[in-house]
């Protein structure tokens, strides 16, 4: 009788556990839905930003020109962790550009975009990706591929699948316990004589469980221990399979993080500008593109005069603060098509697309004056200033991106020789100052 009461109490506890499991499952589903909604809103916001940027370059009559503008924009877009790829399609659905170029099957991307299926997802090299698109000028379509939102669930399944697993497991446990209770009351002898597997089970069949003395009681208790051992071994096997599945899922997640980290390697962590690796990867490509299109391109190379003195006087924290300000100054002063980079230490570079040397020199002069206002707040032994060197691909001595940087470096060296805090330009065979009396 005591065993029956214990089983009934266990059944009640399992019922309460079922209610708790369902409540936890519903809460996790709500959390995942909220996270997915926020992820969708972020992705749509990124698409609207891209559409707004497209208004500046998507009216070109030739697809190859629009493609170049798109590729420059996409380098910044894919630094967003929520974006794994971007694409540009013509009005007929033909793929004009894809960044990265191996992220997705181009035919599948064109098919889903032309079908106008706003809920379509695609298989990419990083897993499932959410596709959103918008029409821009001339019927072209701008496409963003969004990374799947991180799941809050404890296993690598969808929200509804997880809820179904919890409910089915709880209901199955409930039914099993009720049947077990019925069998223990109605058919106790059959349960005790059930066949077993393995050496332990064969040994249990030989136990004197039918005896009514102390030996029979001990035999029945030992048989229960063997059954518990079998169940524990089964649970351990299930736990091992679950652990293997989780390790595989985490391995795939780490591989995706490594690919995204490779793209983030183009960003300087202190100033949030591009770094020298980005310059090495993209300068020659930009130079060739501008030359082929017959458009100008200028660079402004500059560094901070007397920066070491400020570090020695006021400390490296103040130096880092000033370098961070330079990054904010460039991001706030340059156009969206321009590129600001920190080459290392206190050396910076801006690449001004479609800009001649005179306009680039004016931009450099404006940076010098704005920086001077900020630097005046720091009282160091020697004032910190900016010296700039400006060069354009129109110069006859420029035949590559490397020679363009070399010319800008000569102009910078000339500006420093003339007193620092100046802008040196290279209009002809010899350098000169923008404002000699400045």
Q: Supply the pLDDT for residue 276.
A: 92
* The pLDDT of residue 4: 47
Strand partners, 128: 123
pLDDT for res 187: 45
| pLDDT at residue number 204 | 57
- Supply the CATH number for residue 380's domain: 3.30.70.270
Residues annotated catalytic, as ranges: 346
Identify whether residues 237 and 330 lie together within a single domain.
no
What sign has the CA pseudo-torsion 35, 165, 182, 200? negative
Query: Is residue 193 located within the same domain as residue 315?
Result: no
The fraction of the chain above a pLDDT of 90, given in percent, is 24
Q: Are residues 346 and 400 in the same domain?
A: yes
Average pLDDT over residues 148-170: 62
Domain that holds residue 418: 276-433
pLDDT for 159 equals 53
Q: Kindly state whether residue 338 falls inside one of the protein's structural domains.
A: yes
pLDDT interval class at 424 (50, 70, 90): very high
Mean pLDDT over 230-237 rounds to 81
Same structural domain, 322 and 225: no
- Confidence class of residue 64 from pLDDT cuts 50, 70 and 90? low
Residue 220 domain flag: yes
Between 37 and 327, the more confident residue is 327
Categorize the per-residue pLDDT at 186 as very low, low, confident or very high, splitting at 50, 70 and 90.
Answer: very low
Give the separation between CA 302 and CA 368, rounded to whole angstroms.
Answer: 9
Number of Cβ within 10 Å of residue 293's Cβ equals 14
Q: What is the DSSP string of 7-75?
A: HHHHHHHHHHHHHHHHHHHHHHHHHHHHHHHHHHHHHHHHHHHHHHHHTTTTT-SSHHHHHHHHHHHHH
Q: Which of 261, 286, 304 is the last residue of a domain?
A: 261
360 pLDDT higher than 90: yes
Whether 97 is covered by a domain: the verdict is: no
Quick one: 254 and 288 in the same domain?
no
Residue 49's pLDDT is 74
Q: What is the mean pLDDT of residues 161-184?
A: 66
Provide the mean pLDDT of the chain.
76
Longest distance between any two alpha carbons in the chain, whole Å: 116
What average pLDDT score do residues 357-368 get? 93
Report CA torsion sign: 65, 66, 68, 72.
positive
Distance CA 73, CA 50 (A): 8
Residues 219 and 282 in one domain: no
Most confident of the following: 8-17, 174-183, 373-382: 373-382
* pLDDT at res. 189: 42
Count of domains observed in the chain: 2
Asked if the structure places residue 386 within a domain, the reply is yes
Has residue 118 been placed in a domain?
no
Domain identity same for 398 and 428 = yes
Say which DSSP state 104 is in.
B
Question: Lowest-confidence range among 36-50, 58-72, 290-304, 319-333?
Answer: 58-72
Query: How far is residue 287's CA from residue 399's CA, in Å, rounded to a whole number?
Result: 9
The model's pLDDT over 147-158, given as tens digits with 9 standing for 90+, comes to 777 665 555 555
205-219, 220-234, 284-298, 300-314: range with highest mean pLDDT: 284-298
pLDDT given for residue 252 in this prediction = 73
pLDDT for 166 beyond 50: yes
Quote the pLDDT of residue 427.
82
Average confidence (pLDDT) over 92-116: 72
107 or 323, higher pLDDT:
323
Query: Would 336 be classed as within a structural domain?
Result: yes
Provide the whole-model pTM. Answer: 0.43
Name the nearest CA neighbour of 76 among 99, 95, 97.
Answer: 99
Domain final position from 261, 296, 328? 261
Banded model confidence at residue 380, pLDDT cuts 50, 70, 90? confident
Q: In this model, does residue 363 exceed pLDDT 80?
A: yes
pLDDT at 215: 56
Q: Does 47 fall in a domain?
A: no
Which of these ranges, 52-66, 214-228, 241-255, 344-358, has the smallest mean pLDDT?
52-66
Instruction: Determine contact, residues 88/66, Cβ cutoff 8 Å.
Output: yes
The reply to whether 223 and 299 lie within a common domain is no
Question: 165 and 247: one domain?
Answer: yes
Query: Residue 400: is its pLDDT beyond 60?
Result: yes
The answer to whether residues 283 and 411 belong to one domain is yes
Tell me, yes or no, whether 198 and 233 share the same domain: yes
Average pLDDT, stretch 197-220?
A: 62
292 and 417: one domain?
Answer: yes
> Is the residue at 232 inside a domain?
yes
Instruction: Please identify, among 238, 261, 284, the residue that sits at the C-terminal boundary of a domain.
Output: 261
pLDDT of residue 389: 94
**Choice between 219 and 315, residue whose per-residue pLDDT is larger:** 315
Report how far residue 30's alpha carbon sits from residue 156's, in angstroms, rounded to the nearest whole number: 17
pLDDT for residue 236 is more than 80 = yes
392 strand-pairing partners: 298
φ and ψ at residue 433, rounded to 5 degrees: -90, 150
What three-state secondary structure class fits 185? helix
């Amino acid at each position: 009788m005591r065993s029956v009461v214990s089983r009934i109490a266990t059944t009640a506890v399992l019922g309460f556990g079922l209610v708790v499991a369902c409540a936890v499952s519903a809460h996790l589903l709500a959390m995942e839905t909220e996270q997915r909604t926020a992820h969708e809103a972020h992705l749509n916001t990124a698409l609207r930003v891209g559409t707004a940027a497209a208004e500046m370059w998507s009216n070109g009559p030739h697809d190859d020109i629009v493609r170049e503008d798109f590729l420059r924009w996409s380098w910044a877009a894919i630094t967003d962790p929520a974006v794994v790829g971007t694409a540009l399609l013509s009005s007929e659905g033909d793929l004009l550009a894809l960044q990265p170029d191996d992220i997705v099957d181009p035919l599948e991307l064109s098919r889903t975009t032309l079908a106008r299926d706003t809920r379509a997802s695609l298989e990419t090299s990083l897993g499932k990706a959410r596709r959103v698109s918008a029409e821009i000028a001339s019927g072209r379509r701008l496409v963003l591929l969004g990374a799947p939102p991180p799941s809050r669930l404890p296993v690598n399944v969808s929200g509804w699948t997880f809820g179904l697993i919890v409910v089915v497991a709880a209901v199955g446990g409930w039914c099993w316990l009720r049947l077990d209770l019925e069998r223990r009351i109605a058919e106790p002898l059959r349960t005790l004589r059930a066949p077993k597997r393995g050496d332990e089970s064969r040994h249990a069949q030989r136990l004197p469980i039918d005896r009514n003395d102390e030996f029979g009681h001990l035999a029945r208790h030992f048989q229960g221990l063997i059954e518990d051992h079998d169940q524990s071994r089964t649970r351990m096997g299930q736990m091992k399979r679950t652990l293997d599945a989780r390790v595989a899922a985490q391995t795939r997640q780490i591989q995706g993080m490594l690919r995204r980290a490779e793209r983030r390697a183009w960003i300087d962590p202190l100033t949030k500008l591009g770094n020298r690796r980005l310059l090495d990867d993209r300068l020659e490509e930009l130079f060739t593109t501008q030359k082929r299109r017959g458009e100008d391109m200028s660079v402004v190379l500059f560094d901070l005069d007397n920066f070491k003195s400020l570090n020695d006087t006021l400390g490296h924290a103040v130096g880092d603060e000033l370098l961070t300000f330079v990054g904010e100054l460039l991001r706030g002063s340059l156009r969206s098509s321009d590129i600001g980079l920190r080459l290392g230490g206190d050396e910076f570079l801006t690449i001004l697309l479609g800009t001649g040397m005179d306009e680039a020199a004016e931009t450099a002069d404006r940076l010098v004056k704005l920086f001077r206002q900020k630097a005046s707040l720091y009282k160091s032994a020697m004032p910190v200033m900016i010296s700039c060197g400006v060069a354009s691909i129109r110069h006859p001595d420029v035949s590559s991106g490397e020679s363009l940087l070399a010319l800008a470096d000569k102009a910078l060296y000339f500006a420093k020789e003339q007193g620092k805090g100046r802008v040196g330009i290279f209009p002809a065979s010899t350098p000169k100052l923008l404002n000699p009396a400045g």
